Structure 1
């Protein structure tokens, strides 16, 4: 945590049209991986449109490492089934933080100001345009990630940057 640039709170909102891995549904959960960090949501039983509404917080020290997101179906008697994966870059939100810090008085920036946007490309997992916004004195990024290596599914996330207080 010593060389951490800050914390990234990942609000795992919900899954949309996730794959069926059991007879007629799935018991999905999400894992976030960044370097040696691994965080997990709770399992939502029998739901391919789950609402986790859970916050997972990652310590960010290298803005060039992507966050990997994995979705699994919880099984009691066998290995959990894969339900797709995705990744997202944290460099854009780190750049937005630098931009806001460089502006001096952030109190003058109106809430709702769009600081940046990321378009979906072949190289990212975004299913639609993602905005980085200055909201209530916080830097927030909303995103829908299309899951790869699976027949269907998206995950809705909200990222929030959290500064680490520095002590002299």
Structure 2
């Protein structure tokens, strides 16, 4: 209102957090700070939050950006449009960052198969009608894919379309007669390759989830309404048990929906690094299953699992497949990490010319 602010930045990478100094009474601050982080996981997300310092009370939120490390172009000074707290829509302001990421691809790939680092400071889950509805819709979409696939298979048995049923019957006989275990990763490998050629040929089958995006945009407004309603009625404060159950259901729906979306986004090449890693893994599995009998593979797996605690008493028990999928962003995270297009007049080059003028 007075045309002034006292902005400072908080830069976070997992549990590492650094602050800039405050530039007082300035709407166009220049920090010119260089920060260095030790990257433990290349799939981490760099978060930069801008606050307005207030000496009498807590700092006011001005804007935030979340930048996946794998999306960074080294040495490029880039303008990032600041977003709201939910990272769903723009707020006023643009921040200029120049970032360099140096990592070893082999070590990063191996790191993908172990558990993610958990953040020590996370926002406490709270009940939200909009969030509960959004998670229900996301889960429903994943379940509907399986239901539609089941209906499609059943229609082949019912001969609703004779040519399709005949083709499915011939394919069934061929596959069952010639089936080998190595064909399972081979089919997944072919699916990944097919989607890759669709993308490079311009026939990208990835579609933005408008339902999720629209609900994300409305979430902040709905949350504010929920807060006001809860303050007036005092309903949530009176029935803590129901609130805890609803939060549990809300979180379970989120986990179920996220798992389905992460699998889809792996095959949709949402994060090329992870899709290439999946191709390498599937190639290895195909070759191993082709040349090594299944009993030997199960035997090696069982010996490793039974002796893991004996060999490494402090090792964390994990599932490599789930650890891999945890690095793939869900549809909600894809929206949050999506960069908003800045005003062309906000480019760094034009900004320098204006300052010289």
Please indicate the TM-score interval, normalised by the length of the shorter structure: 0.5 to 0.7
* Equivalence for 1:156: 96
Cα deviation, residue 142, structure 1: 2.3
Greater RCO (Cα-Cα under 8 Å, separation 6 or more)? 1
What is the 5 A alignment of 1:17-166?
23-93=2-72, 132=73, 139-149=74-84, 151-161=91-101
2:13 & 2:60 partners in 1: Cα distance? 21
Question: Residue by residue, what CA displacement relative to the aligned partner does 1:54-111 show, whole Å, maximum 9, x if unpaired?
Answer: 1111111111111111000011111110001111111144xxxxxxxxxxxxxxxxxx
2:64 & 2:76 partners in 1: Cα distance? 19
* Equivalence for 1:104: none
Select the structure that is richer in strand: 1
Does the 8 Å CA contact 1:140/1:161 hold for their aligned counterparts? no
1:151 & 1:86 partners in 2: Cα distance? 10
Which 5+ residue runs of structure 2 have no aligned equivalent?
85-89, 105-357
Report SS of the residue matched to 1:59: coil
2:69 & 2:102 partners in 1: Cα distance? 13
Does the 8 Å CA contact 2:12/2:47 hold for their aligned counterparts? yes
1:90 & 1:163 partners in 2: Cα distance? 10
1:92 & 1:146 partners in 2: Cα distance? 16
2:100 & 2:48 partners in 1: Cα distance? 16
Question: Residue by residue, what CA displacement relative to the aligned partner does 1:22-49 show, whole Å, maximum 9, x if unpaired?
Answer: x331100011111110011110001111
Report SS of the residue matched to 2:75: strand
Cα deviation, residue 151, structure 1: 3.4
Does the 8 Å CA contact 1:86/1:146 hold for their aligned counterparts? yes
* Structure 1 pair 61–141 and aligned structure 2 pair: CA distance change class (3 A): farther
Provide the alpha-carbon RMSD of the alignment.
Answer: 2.0
2:66 & 2:51 partners in 1: Cα distance? 15
Which has the larger Rg?
A: 2
Cα deviation, residue 143, structure 1: 1.7
Report SS of the residue matched to 1:144: strand
Question: Where does structure 1 differ by over 2 angstroms across 4 or more consecutive aligned residues?
Answer: 160-164
With structure 2 as the length reference, what TM-score do the two structures score? 0.26
Report SS of the residue matched to 1:91: helix
2:26 & 2:48 partners in 1: Cα distance? 19
With structure 1 as the length reference, what TM-score do the two structures score? 0.54
